[in-house]
Every structure is written in C-alpha cells, then in structure tokens.
Structure 1
Amino acid sequence: SPALLVCDEIGFLPLGQQGSNLFFQVISARHQKKSTILTTNLPFAQWGKIFDSTTVATAIADRLVHRSEVLIMEGTSYRRKDH
C-alpha cells in the first residue's frame, strides 16, 4: 500500500455498487494510517451521484475529511484555454 494515494477526477464516472464498495474499503483501510488526495469537480453534497448511495458517500466523505485539509480551488479551467 503506497504512503500517498492520489485519486484524480472522482465523480467523472459513477462507480456503481461494486466500485463504491471497493472504494470505501480502500479509504477505510487507509483512514488515519496513510495519506490520500482526491480531486473532484463535485461538492460533497453531490457525492451521492458518484457512489451507489448517499450512505456510502457520507461514510467515505467522513473518513476523508477527518483530520484533513479541504482545498476548494475556483476559477477557469486551464484545459479550456487555447494554446
């Protein structure tokens, strides 16, 4: 298990029941033991759309925000800029 796990674009696709359960197990196993970084465009209030149920979403969010820092970055996406 890595010292730091980075999960990018959480919520880009819904996880379904099996994916939600597996993700919960990973987060629970790492809780208070190892560092985890998640990126998402969705606020916590919409995590029920990502995970199979709001109960699972709440349990995951609770473990992630416990003794953590939540950074909210706002602004225009760099992906949309013409280069």
Structure 2
Amino acid sequence: MAQKQLPEEFYPLMEELQAVDFVLVELTLYLDTHPNDQAAIQQFNEMAEYRHHVKYQVEQYLGPLQQFGNSYSGYPWNWIDAPWPWQL
C-alpha cells in the first residue's frame, strides 16, 4: 500500500495534536487524585475542545485517526490509507 504525500503544514499540526494529547493524559492523572480542582477541570475541558479542533484539521490531511465512530470516513472508505499516525 503506497503512502500518500502529506504537505509540510501537516507535520506541525500532528505535533500539536500529540502535545495536546500529552496535556490531556497528565490532567487526567492529576484529576484522578484531585477530583475537586475546578481550575484543572476547566483546563481539561478547554484542552478537550481544542483537541477536537486540531484532530479535525489533522484528519483533513491524513484521514480518520480513530475507529468505532470517533472519526468520520471520507469516500471511498479511507480508514486503510497510509501513513498511519504511528508511522509518521
């Protein structure tokens, strides 16, 4: 299966998505032990919203990042298109 050529502007977006995911994981761990920290909850929700926006932009270049209804597919079915996120 041939990998599609991705424009240069894709890579900073993918890095941004990875950074946001890191922040969300760290906030999740923090909130597991500090469930009443309202500021952290607000930050988590803001980052979750921002992640949705960045993920949409990345998927415009790459195609769906997640399966099981978490991402939409283009036509034709493009779930199988390479490169996969972990191949970048």
Higher helix share: 2
What is the TM-score of this pair, normalised by structure 1?
A: 0.32
TM-score (norm 2): 0.31
When you count strand as a share of all residues, which structure comes out higher?
Answer: 1
